[in-house]
Amino acid sequence: MKTTERFHLQRVKDLQEIFSETNLVEVWRNVVRQQLRSQDISDLHDYYDFNINIKERSAFIQQQILSGQYRAKSPLIYKLEKKYGVCRHIMLPSPSDALVLQTIVEKSLQEKLLNSQPNKQAYYSRDKHTLKLPHEFKDLRDYPWHIQWKKFQKEIWKFGSNCNFLAVTDITNYYDSIGLRELRHIISSQIETPEVVLDLLFAIIEQLSWNPDYLPSSLKGLPTINLEAARLLAHALLFEVDEVIQSRTNGNFVRWMDDINFGVNSFEEACETLGIINDVLKSRGLALNLGKTNIYNPEEVERHFLVKENKFLDSINPKEADVNKYNEIITQLYQEFNQHKKQSKLKSWDKVTKRFFTTVGKLKSNILLDDIKELFLKYPSIRSNIIYYLSLLGFSDKTSKVVIEILENLKVYDDVTLFYIVKLLTDWSIPNNQYCKDIIDKIYSILKKNKKPFDYYCILWFVAKYGKPQEILSLIQSNKSLWIHDPFLRRQIISVIPKIIFYRHDLCQKMLDEETSSGLEDSASVANNIRYLSKQEKLSFDLNAYLFPKTKQTPYPLAKYLILLACLSSEHLKSDESVKKKVFEYVNDPWYLHWLETYVY
């Protein structure tokens, strides 16, 4: 037995209030679906199998929870490089677990916790707060910095008075150092919530935690999950620290998760406050990161927060840039960037570097292309912004050569970097001609040199767009030992079947049948959904809204294209002229069109 009589008499009532089908569906549609889409790692089926059956999935989740049977699935654990090959382990939970966690937070904890927050100077979610960052200080003028300093403090950090010094610090290995028992004690002391809700919450957290090599749970470390539910829990743990800083600084502080900035009037006062904060943290098994702790005077703040560079970037609005002064603006940007590159030791260097790439990218200038290779290889923290810059420039002979140079010199220590590049390549609109085919072949040959399981996922993503059906089939069959026991990879394999279903229909149907009967929930769910889509006789309202939204997507997402192919494997939809018209209205990538014209129409 998994439950006692007490569970059915008492605890089920508390769970029923939270886990209604209505609540689960609402949280999925309003929060979780978009959160999963915004992760570093994407799903080749866009979690569409979960979304299309959300009411049935919610009913099943509710039944499992109310019967005491719910257990978290093993999350996908991937690595994200911090520096020098040292990586952070990131957990990507299954859609069900992400939904259950977020439902607990949304429907039981969030409002109560935020109401118990001792002040409004601490933040955990950019979506839910209007926290300003230093570069968003719009009132910078040509006054001397000591005159601007007071306004800067009030606008950015919401300090009530002018302070002579700014102390900046954060917590050493914050997520990894959080004691789960301590976290539970703190949450239960701050708010009233049913015991069974906290039991379920912390059971799921423990099941999602990284415990390699059959090691027992240490009950230490909040899983690093890029979901709002985990951030709120980590945020609440520091409320007692907020209270101490509030008292010590008269409210002149701001905290963004574990990054803490506070103002004081003397160096001694800053040191004393830091010591007090550290003592409070030590009582909870945490400690300040002395390597990232500094006490700045106004001039040092101006230098470390790169106020002048931010002011310069604020003066350039890509949407309103004067066409006649374009070359002058670009030249000025390049000169400023060359000076900025030399200041990599300053606190906000990487944040301002990201701003340079974004600004120059929106101006569609390639002036930073020569700097990309060195910066990409050396500074993991800015890689996603370099990729964004390249996406804004689009495919060209120059940009493709830079990407190839990066790939040829890249030492991959994490799982995310290679996917960033592959995602860029599949988002680009690359012409379908012999010259570009040679570029694609060269990139494919480089990618195939990587042998880790996650590299295989990146290769699969690449060939899902550019590979011939027979190449994809060969890749799947020759690497079966690599993916057959990996639930995530197996799900991605099944997700790409629509690309080859027109080439080997009978074989694909056999693969789908085998997967449906395999008992592996995630991949079988995709297989069932592909079979369901391939039997549609007409385009339903929901399916039409998904494939052909009112606002056209550019680029058309690869995962959505694969789902479109699954639909077009239905003879009814394939022969429907109205569907065909929409397909060619929405899909304009040369390679997507090539496969459609070669195998479908």
At 186, the pLDDT band (50, 70, 90 cuts) reads: very high
Residue 195 has pLDDT above 80, yes or no: yes
556-585 CB burial, b ≥16 within 10 A, e <16 = bebbbbbbbbbbbbbeebbebeebbebbee
Separation between Cα atoms, residue 327 and residue 269, nearest integer Å: 49
At 215-250, the pLDDT tens digits run 888 888 898 888 888 899 999 999 999 999 999 999
At 137, the pLDDT band (50, 70, 90 cuts) reads: low
Q: What is the pLDDT of residue 140?
A: 52
Q: What is the pLDDT of residue 317?
A: 84
Q: What is the pLDDT of residue 408?
A: 95
Angle subtended by helix axes 521-534 and 487-495, to nearest 10: 10
Task: Output the six-digit token pair for 299.
Answer: 């001039």
Which pTM was predicted? 0.91
Nearest to 297 by CA among 250, 264, 342: 264
Q: What is the pLDDT of residue 76?
A: 92
- First-to-last C-alpha distance (Å) of the chain: 56
Q: What is the pLDDT of residue 128?
A: 55
Cβ burial, residue 58 (10 Å; 0-12/13-18/19+): buried
At 12-21, the pLDDT tens digits run 999 999 999 9
Residue 144 has pLDDT above 80, yes or no: no
Q: What is the pLDDT of residue 455?
A: 93
Q: What is the pLDDT of residue 6?
A: 82
Residue 117 has pLDDT above 90, yes or no: yes
The sign one gets for the Cα dihedral 394, 397, 400, 401 is negative
Do 346 and 306 contact (CB within 8 A), yes or no? yes
3-state secondary structure of 400: helix
Quick one: average pLDDT of 58-73?
94
Q: What is the pLDDT of residue 555?
A: 94
Separation between Cα atoms, residue 393 and residue 376, nearest integer Å: 16
Residue 180 has pLDDT above 90, yes or no: yes
Q: Which amino acid, one-letter code, is at 123?
A: Y
Residue 155 has pLDDT above 80, yes or no: no
Question: Phi then psi for 39, rounded to 5 degrees?
Answer: -70, 160
Calculate ∠ Cα 441-446-451, nearest 5°: 125
3-state secondary structure of 89: strand
Q: Which amino acid, one-letter code, is at 160?
A: G
Q: Which amino acid, one-letter code, is at 399?
A: T
Contacts of 121 (CB under 8 A, 6+ apart): 157, 158, 242, 246, 251, 253, 254, 255
At 545-601, the pLDDT tens digits run 999 999 999 999 999 999 999 999 999 999 999 999 999 999 999 999 999 999 999
At 396-447, the pLDDT tens digits run 999 999 999 999 999 989 999 999 999 999 999 999 999 999 999 999 999 9
Separation between Cα atoms, residue 333 and residue 168, nearest integer Å: 29
At 394-407, the pLDDT tens digits run 999 999 999 999 99
Residue 383 has pLDDT above 80, yes or no: yes
Percent of the chain scored above 70 by pLDDT?
Answer: 95
Task: Output the six-digit token pair for 30.
Answer: 């309003």
Please, which residues bridge with residue 263 across strands?
A: 166
Please, which residues bridge with residue 253 across strands?
A: 262
For residue 160, count other CB atoms closer than 10 A to its CB. Answer: 13
Q: What is the pLDDT of residue 412?
A: 87
Do 47 and 33 contact (CB within 8 A), yes or no? yes
At 322, the pLDDT band (50, 70, 90 cuts) reads: confident
Q: What is the mean pLDDT of the chain?
A: 91
Angle subtended by helix axes 434-447 and 416-427, to nearest 10: 170
**DSSP string of 114-173, one letter each residue:** HHH-S-SSEES-TTT-----GGG-TT--SS-HHHHHHHHIIIII--SS--SEEEEE-BTT
Separation between Cα atoms, residue 304 and residue 166, nearest integer Å: 11
Separation between Cα atoms, residue 560 and residue 556, nearest integer Å: 7
Quick one: average pLDDT of 325-348?
93
Separation between Cα atoms, residue 47 and residue 51, nearest integer Å: 6
Nearest to 134 by CA among 404, 340, 372, 355: 355
Counting Cα atoms < 13 Å in the Cβ hemisphere of 325 gives 9
Q: How far is CA 270 from the centre of its chain?
A: 35
Counting Cα atoms < 13 Å in the Cβ hemisphere of 66 gives 17
Helices (H), 283-348: 298-304, 307-314, 326-340
Give whole-number Cα distances, 261 to 57, 167, 168, 237, in Å. 44, 6, 5, 17
Do 48 and 526 contact (CB within 8 A), yes or no? no
At 306-321, the pLDDT tens digits run 888 988 998 888 887 7
Q: What is the pLDDT of residue 172?
A: 94
Nearest to 594 by CA among 420, 440, 445: 440
